[in-house]
Amino acid sequence: MNVPFLDLKAQYKTIKDEVLPAINEVIENTAFAGGPYVAKFEQAFADFCGVKHCIGVGNGTDALWLSLVALGIGHGDEVITTPNTFIATAEAISLAGAIPIFVDIEEKTHNMNPALLANAITKKTKAIIPVHLFGQPADMDPILEIAKKHGLKVVEDACQAHGAEYKGRKAGSMGNTGCFSFYPGKNLGAYGEGGAVVTNDDALAANMRMFRDHGQAKKYYHGIIGWNARLDGIQGAVLSVKLKHLADWNDARRKHAKRYSELLASVKDIIVPGEMDYAKHVYHIYALRSPERDKLMAYLAEKGVSCGIHYPVPVHLQDAYGFLKYREGSFPIAEKCASQYLSLPMFAELTDEQVAYVAQQIKGYYA
Ligand SMILES: *Cc1c(COP(=O)(O)O)cnc(C)c1O
């Protein structure tokens, strides 16, 4: 049996009849850049997240960068985040002119350890970016409390956590802004690139709306120096169609994750991912941990099972961030996890047979 890591075609087949007319309508109306199809999606996504404003942007990296710029973060400032993330979190900090400061993760959440935050705060610290990695929210209450105490902004990197919840609150709705990516493989993915920032702050929303469109509120009258970070009309229409299915797709992911964990419970040599009591995990990634990760991955590939690694090198050890002078051993939990992570096939349309087959092969490896 062949089990792909991700099968976008399988999902497309289930919504083809809805999504093709929606795309066609945008083309018939030539509403390509920004416009009504984007505005409609923005309203729906703001409602979905339980926030006042959603600003569609070009991608998730734009969403993070725009948030920082709109919050006034720039040259000489420090922004605290975790090294256990996709590089974009740190890139956005760097592109805003600030310096990323990392704190290690908690082994049980794979997210920022709030207990290490206070030590990382200096006079230059302006913001914290918790990442809801793999679809499970970071432990937000202590993070929000520390931020409040020190007058820091909080930008949530919810790029892997569409629809995830923390104590009943939606990922992205708790910080000053929440940032989403609609990269095709995300839980809510566009048919191209896309992203969004959500916020309850009216002034911030107005600023980001102008900024993403060259700083103009009225065409060719530029109040601020902005950028082109618009979401395009076709993506707005596609995302509106797909948003209606997101809750079901997330439920399917949760079901597959539960099944993987049940079937693999007897395998002593691996650690399966857990769901925190406070969380609704949406399993963008199902990352188990194995000390023999590379050998296991090769074995599974031979059996037709495609896996991924998210991510093999934590951000502080990437060549791009060599100038920060972190070393191996700087963040031991993140480093240990990175050497052990193995992401199993995960998408809503996986069949029960495929899930069972993957688990069976893992058991076969260890037998
Ligand atoms: C995908 C992702 C991003 C960046 O999103 P793009 O749309 O690819 O720019 C940022 N942070 C995390 C954690 C991501 O997974």
Domain spans in the chain, listed from the N-terminal domain onward: 8-103+111-243, 246-366
Write out pLDDT tens, residues 77-110: 999 999 999 999 999 999 999 999 999 999 999 9
Q: Which residue's CA is the closest to the ligand 1 atom numbered 10?
A: 88
Give the Å distance between the CA of 59 and the centre of ligand 1: 8
pLDDT at res. 127: 98
pLDDT greater than 90 at residue 317: yes
- For residue 181, report the distance from its CA to the centre of ligand 1, in Å: 5
Verify whether ligand 1 is closer than 6 Å to residue 157 (CB atom).
yes
Query: What percentage of the chain has pLDDT greater than the value 70?
Result: 100
Architecture of domain 8-103+111-243: 3-Layer(aba) Sandwich (3.40)
State whether the beta carbon of 88 lies less than 6 angstroms from ligand 1. yes
Cα–Cα dist 81/102, whole Å: 5
Tell me the pTM.
0.98
Task: Give residue 282's pLDDT.
Answer: 98
pLDDT tens for residues 229-257?
A: 999 999 999 999 999 999 999 999 999 99
Phi/psi of residue 180, nearest 5 degrees = -125, 145
Q: What is the pLDDT of residues 217-227, one digit of tens each?
A: 899 999 999 99
- Alpha carbon of 282 to those of 6, 218, 286: distances in Å? 15, 39, 9
Mean pLDDT, residues 286-298: 98
Among 151, 200, 365, which Cα is nearest to 269's? Answer: 365
Average pLDDT over residues 134-151: 98
Q: From ligand 1's centre to the CA of 89, what distance in Å?
A: 7
Mean per-residue pLDDT over the chain, rounded: 98
Q: Please name the fold of domain 246-366.
A: Aspartate Aminotransferase, domain 1 (3.90.1150)
Give per-residue pLDDT as tens, 5-54.
999 999 999 999 999 999 999 999 999 998 999 999 999 999 999 999 99
Euclidean distance between CA atoms 280 and 58, whole angstroms:
27
Confidence class of residue 69 from pLDDT cuts 50, 70 and 90?
A: very high
Residue to substitute in 162, 181, 188 for testing ligand 1 pocket (most ligand atoms within 8 angstroms of CB): 181
Q: For residue 60, how far is the Cα from the chain centroid?
A: 8
